[in-house]
Chain A
Amino acid sequence: MSNTLNVDPADLSRDYFRAKAWRGHFRRPSVLPGFGLTFGFTLFYLTLIVLVPLSALFLKSIQFGAEAFWIAATAPRVLAAFRVSFGCALLAAGLNVVFGLLLAWVLVRYRFPGRRVCDALVDLPFALPTAVAGISLAALYAPKGWLGQYFADWGIKVAFTPLGIMVALLFVGIPFVVRTVQPVLENFDLSYEEAATTLGANRWQIFSRVLLPALLPATLTGFALAFARGLGEYGSVIFIAGNMPMVSEIVPLLIVTKLEQYDYTGATAIAVVMLMLSFAMLLVINLLQAWARRAEQRR
């Protein structure tokens, strides 16, 4: 190879890429025109719809001063509500992951009469007004209700306890897991499982070592969505929760209660803490997801 230029091509390209690096972070060559316009619109829209309301919340909370904020945010009743909200949402999302995977598995892998109906049923919690869901769940699981009476025989109270909150969150969260895992499972080639079988793996080994790692990113997404939905859920929960302070009161309800008592400091403080906690958790889940995706198909 002759190099008459006396310049290392690598140097040339390094400078070239350094010059382009800043721009390159924002822009990739594309056949579609209008990056400037669409990117501008995206920023504007996100600001208007998401950022402005949230910053207004923060600005409002600053008005009250740090001390008032701290007292409002760390009141025992508030801390209890946080425990209930995050605890129930986490547990419900976790359970939804287990049963959502199972549901998605059955819907994708088996052909049975009524499969389409089952598939459509999964979406119902998306469509049903949450209050309707809450009221019917409360009626069913009340100690004298159709289902509640059997639990009552065992001494288990479902409605009007944190357990009831979980039931409501299981209901609203399940479609998120099923709908994120389903397409991935549909695209998962059977030959991976067949390969594992011929290599001598049993069903459990195939599930845990071949299938689950491939489904992990989608499962985490489903978990994050179900969890986020569970944190913010209001309509269905308040009817079944009983709403006892310190025991079964969720954060969104506490905020509404504070507002009704004209305690704007309290309401805002709780909302800001809630917002930060949710954002932090979603960020962590997103990072986990990105890590899982990289691990799943390293490039």
Chain B
Amino acid sequence: MSIVIAGVSKAFVGFRALNNVSLEVPTGQLVALLGPSGCGKTTLLRIVAGLDTQDSGAVLFDGTDMSQVSARDRGVGFVFQQYALFRHMSVFDNIAFGLTVKPRSERPAANAIKQKVEQLLELMQLGGLGQRYPSQLSGGQRQRVALARALAVEPKVLLLDEPFGALDARVRKELRRWLRKLHDELHVTSIFVTHDQEEALEVADTVVVMNAGKIEQVGSPDDIYDSPASPFVYQFLGDVNLFQTNANRNARAERLMSTVYARPHELHLERVPSDREGIETRLSGQRRIGAVVRLLLERTDGGGVIEAELTHERYLSEQWRDGDRVWVRPMHPRRFSDAVH
């Protein structure tokens, strides 16, 4: 089922959550809505689900306007950040809930429900946990139960609101790989909301970067990372160094003041300047984080601190010491005219 979001706006008291947002999600895709908290991504997801209503615009499933269709009848599966599992029901009953509330004429027989739930438990790697209660499960297991519950009614669209937000880093990594695998098996059109750029880049077919109620960029993970459309996208996707070009002696080409963006691991670091473009700095601090070492380089012209990242191997072989003089040159400088801001 394809989803079309056409010019959706939504305002809460004293605050515009969504400002004329349009987006197309083709059938079978896994799309990430990525953005900082308060950017409207969750509101958009809830509008698609029918849990909130838009002030203007429309949501279409396969070309049909869903505005007048209630959340109950939209056929969406929704997974909440805090799981929202029914605490007084066993895992089995939680998963079976959507099937047992169907009108008598559509409700599968008890046997069929049992079979379906068992099958989902297997799929979710929860075999044997059917009689447990949600409070007896770990966070990762609970989220998988929530997912199984949403999938039990065979939704045409799966919506996940920060599905891994409440989990610790390791479980999170495991679950997102597993979600990707699950999606490759089921091919149900899915949208998930996240504020974690790594999660979005790793899991999604298409990443939608949002900021302040608007879509900044839509593209494949590679597109988004390699050619960010705006300074916001660039900064949101990872650490970044800013260079004002008018401080650069070689700024003849552009009289317009602009800022160059470069990621910490995309810098040439030289002990001896190879051309006149390098920025002279002094090494003022270093910190190892696992496989990488982060260097703090203070510009000798007083232009602030540049952050650089090296592999630990290179760091060891090159013997860096505090106070070393280093010339820095961005490898793939990205220029955004300041007028864009």
A binding-site residues for B, Cβ under 8 Å = 189, 191-192, 194-202, 205, 209-210, 213-214, 295-299
Contact = CB atoms under 8 A, between A and B. Distances in A.
Interface string B47-77: 0011100000000000000000011111011
A250 to B, nearest CB: 38
B72 A197 contact: yes
B87 A194 contact: no
Interface string B219-233: 000000000000000
Interface stretch (B4-12, B96-104, B176-184): B96-104
Contacts of A210: 86
B84 A195 contact: yes
Contact of B84 (A189, A200, A205, A299): A189
Contacts of A295: 88
A205 B49 contact: no
B77 A198 contact: yes
A63 B86 CA distance: 56
A298 B135 CA distance: 7
Contact of A198 (B82, B102, B135, B150): B150
A299 B51 CA distance: 31
A200 B87 contact: no
Q: Which 10 A-B pairs have the closest CB atoms?
A: A199-B98, A191-B84, A201-B101, A195-B84, A298-B133, A198-B78, A213-B88, A296-B88, A205-B101, A191-B80
Interface in B155-199: none
Contacts of B51: 194, 197-198
Contact of A201 (B77, B87, B97): B97
A199 B87 contact: no
A132 to B, nearest CB: 42
Interface string B272-315: 00000000000000000000000000000000000000000000
Contacts of B73: 200
A189 to B, nearest CB: 7
Given A198-B71, A202-B72, 8 more contacts: A192-B84, A192-B86, A195-B84, A196-B101, A198-B51, A200-B102, A209-B101, A213-B86
Contact of B101 (A192, A199, A214): A199
Contacts of B50: 198
A192 B88 CA distance: 12
Nearest to A212: B88
B153 A200 contact: yes
A290 B72 CA distance: 34
B97 A199 contact: yes
B150 A214 contact: no
B149 interface: yes
Nearest to B161: A191
Interface string B128-152: 0000010110000000001001101
A210 B49 CA distance: 20
A17 B81 CA distance: 39
A214 B134 CA distance: 14
Contacts of B152: 199
18 contacts: A195-B149, A196-B86, A197-B51, A197-B70, A197-B71, A198-B51, A198-B72, A198-B76, A199-B97, A199-B98, A199-B152, A201-B97, A201-B101, A202-B101, A213-B88, A214-B87, A297-B133, A298-B135
A296 B82 contact: no
Contacts of B82: 189, 191
A299 B64 CA distance: 45
Contact of A194 (B71, B101, B146): B71
A295 B86 CA distance: 12
B135 A297 contact: yes
Contacts of A298: 133, 135-136
B86 A201 contact: no
Contact of A199 (B70, B88, B135, B150): B150
B145 to A, nearest CB: 12
B314 to A, nearest CB: 40
Nearest to A296: B88
B78 A194 contact: yes
Nearest to A299: B135
Contacts of B76: 198
Contacts of B149: 195, 199
B98 A200 contact: yes
Nearest to A216: B88
B119 to A, nearest CB: 17
Residue among A192, A194, A198, A210 with the most chain B CB within 10 A? A198
B254 to A, nearest CB: 51
A205 B86 CA distance: 13
Contacts of A200: 72-73, 98, 101-102, 153
Contacts of A297: 87-88, 133, 135
Nearest to A204: B101
A121 B84 CA distance: 34
B134 to A, nearest CB: 9
A213 B89 CA distance: 9
A224 to B, nearest CB: 20
Contacts of A191: 80, 82, 84
Contacts of A201: 72, 97-98, 101
B70 to A, nearest CB: 8
Contacts of B74: 198
Contacts of B70: 197
A192 B86 CA distance: 7
A298 B136 CA distance: 8
Given A210-B86, A297-B135, A194 B80 contact: yes
